[in-house]
Structure 1
Amino acid sequence: MTSNVDAAFRQQGGHIHVWDSQYGAKAEAFSLFRETICTAFMPWTPEFYGRDFVGRVESIDLANGAIGRVRMSPIVAVKTKSNISHSPIDCIHGNLIISGELKVDQGGTTNIAKRGDLILYESFSPVTLTERPDAPCDNLAFIIPTSSFAHSQDIDHKFSNILVPSEKLSGPLAGCLTMLAQSLCTAPIEEIAALFQACVALLPVAIGAPDCVQHPSVPKNYLLSRILDYIGQNLSDPELSPPRVADQFGISVRYLHKLFVQFGTTFSAHVTAERLKRIKWDLEVSSGRRPSISALAYRWGFNDLSTFHRAFKKQFGCTPSNSHARDLAGECGIGLPNTALAQKRG
């Protein structure tokens, strides 16, 4: 069942498992999908009533759960009493809907999650998931052991069929889930693990159950402040990386990522934003003959111009080569971008 894609990730030292229906016979696609889902997210009984099943699963096993991006033809999935009895641990399931719709029936309640919504339900109670039959479903799926939450012995159905509409998803939780969905196969495993841990911490607050929140020790602001200062002094170095910074401060790379995630961003996002801020400032204040765009990009640590141009346009809504500095400032907005971290330093 291991695809060429899966093998490629393993060769790179990753922990990502990939299954895609295009790598096997059509007749076996759904049975292999069912096996993949049961392996990644514990026993289920999925059923497919169409003709040709198409699907792709990208999943990662983590120390405190599992997470995956699942794209597939519409199915009906049931967690039966038999499935529950064969499940090794009690977990909370969750799905962030990227496209399509998901109807969840559990505990006598029916909820329909649409694009942008988050739906949560328990592994230790029978549940039926029905996807909208006329639209392929794309979602970020995850499981979290109940032991990850405070007073786990008293969970008492707090997560039983809970719908969190997109408009009520908190900013930090929505941001972490979105980053996971977008970068599951590309971000370092330490960054994925830190983002997932942040989601675990934020979920009880999202459903109004703060008594379920674990309270780990909060990192001291002075450590983060020192790290930010170090990054600011070394932005021009293209070799600036999480391992280098972690080694500089005697902490693990995983803990470094956790520090950034707790403040609503990631290491790479912060470094990119700070570099772009410096470049934009140089463009705005330059008089006479200003430096070339490429020279500025290389000066501030970008070693790939196409990556720089994409990041600049995404950050400011325009390209860096728009005539003079003042025109650039007027078109992109005068003033420097504030990152989430910069607002919390003090």
Structure 2
Amino acid sequence: MSEANTPATDKVAVVGAGAFGTALATVIARTGRSEVTLIARKRDVADAILSRRRHEDALPGIDLAESLLATADPASVSTAGIVLFAMPSQAQREAAQALRPYLAPGADIVICAKGLERGTGRLLTDVVAEELRDLEVSVLSGPGFAADIATGLPTAMVIASASAERAARLATALSGPTFRLYPSADRTGVQLGGALKNVLAIACGIVEGAGLGESARAAMIARGLAELSRYVAACGGRGDTVRGLSGLGDLVLTATSHQSRNLRYGIALGRERRAAQPTVDLVEGALAASVAAAEARRLGLDMPLTFAVAAMIDGTIDVETALEQLMSRPITQE
């Protein structure tokens, strides 16, 4: 690799100027260690960020870092040593294809979305790596709402790479006083935790919407985590990964805060006692439930909560029937 083509390790590009991408860009820029460029799809968004230090549509009322750069030119990724893909999960493949001509050899790609590819059910790291074969693809996940990150509230998340050394290097490069990343070498476990906790958040929403009580919610979280651990291990990840930030931490946040779209969808489902048609791009758990249920059956895994949520979303059973089936299951050791 020639020196001219070597990406600068102190330059970070964040592609996607939604709430989460903007929050990540501003919190990394505030460390002062890196030149950070936020790449928006629309020029007027980039211009507003540069002139007013605000992105009112994504993060209303929140001041962004003074040093944050913004542009609508995708070629701006060409000098970045770390490129964060902060677009929605279903846009990751298309974005990788579009950015491929501009990305520098040796750049680190970090996926900052939670979900599985629609149609294939594949992990996002596999999807992007297929398009960017010569680049290393990592993933950032865990409990963190965009507004909390952008306003400097303490937030801890996980960054997972193919090697522990790469994950540690990226964690050091992107962490700051209020934003801490923990490195992991379990990309499978981290991604499945981020995707499938949305299914369990829908289950917790159903509990809330149906008025079943906080004890039932606690049971959903605990038993759901056990299901998730079995699923991760069967898919080649480490089962204990889900007991960390990218599993339990993210699940507690998503299953208890009304900022969560998946929780709100579950609440509506619980109140109506039947499935509302979800917008899958926004309610990732609706897609993940179907994918995980099908894969669990193929693997011979017992995942009653996941099966129940998938069936309720499909309209196969109603809330009362699902609850009756769950409560009448054979009693076994925990």
Question: Does the TM-score normalized on the shorter chain lie above 0.5?
Answer: no
With a CA cutoff of 8 Å and minimum separation of 6, indicate the structure with the bigger relative contact order: 2
Counting strand residues as a fraction of each chain, which structure ranks higher?
1
Bigger-Rg structure (1/2): 1
